[in-house]
Amino acid sequence: MSDLLTSDDYAQHLKQALIEAVPSSVDDPKKFALEIDKIIGILDERKFGQRHRHLSVIKFINLPEIERWLKLGVVGRFNLPANEVAKRRIAARIEVEHLISLIESEPMGVQIGLIEETLPNATFQLFRTPERTLLGLIPFRMGGELPNIRTGIAMLTSDEEPVRALV
């Protein structure tokens, strides 16, 4: 899932899952929680900017990932109590319903492609402006189960060859 395509309530669920996913090896969990707050703030700003600048977003989502997300819920780790897992599955269902509403309403500047096969580990997204198309390679998991914000390097390019391969 792209954070740009999530509901306004998703940021709180993501924050909770990111806090749960903090590994025990982290020296200062409180400092890491502050970093998570900063990241959530940046994601919220991006979502606001995308909506108000009308940046075009093209996203490919694979159906097995959606199915896995619905089964696991918005979780940062597996050993949660059953009642909490039930709540997280509801949160995932609400996000999938939001995604369905975007697909059905086809808002200006948002194109969502559903793919039946599993996509590569690093997801990608196309961003279109009047002047060019940019390709973003995103190794971080911000949507779905078991989010990751600690490991990986994101990339944004306007180089014509990789963009042309996807357009």
**pLDDT digit string (tens) for 70-117?**
999 999 899 999 999 999 999 999 999 999 999 999 888 888 989 898
Q: What is the pLDDT of residues 9-27, one digit of tens each?
A: 999 999 999 888 887 888 8
What's the pLDDT score for residue 9?
Answer: 93
3-class DSSP string for 26-54: CCCHHHHHHHHHHHHHHHHHHHHHHHHHC
Per-residue confidence at 67, pLDDT binned at 50, 70, 90?
Answer: very high
Q: How many Å apart are CA 30 and CA 42, to the nearest integer? A: 19
Confidence of residue 166 (pLDDT cuts 50, 70, 90): low
Confidence of residue 119 (pLDDT cuts 50, 70, 90): low
**Residue 92 near residue 73, CB atoms below 8 Å:** yes
Element (H, E) at 116: none
Q: Which domain holds residue 8?
A: 3-166
- pTM for this model (two decimals): 0.71
How many domains does the structure of the chain reveal? 1
Cβ proximity of 21 and 77 under 8 Å? yes
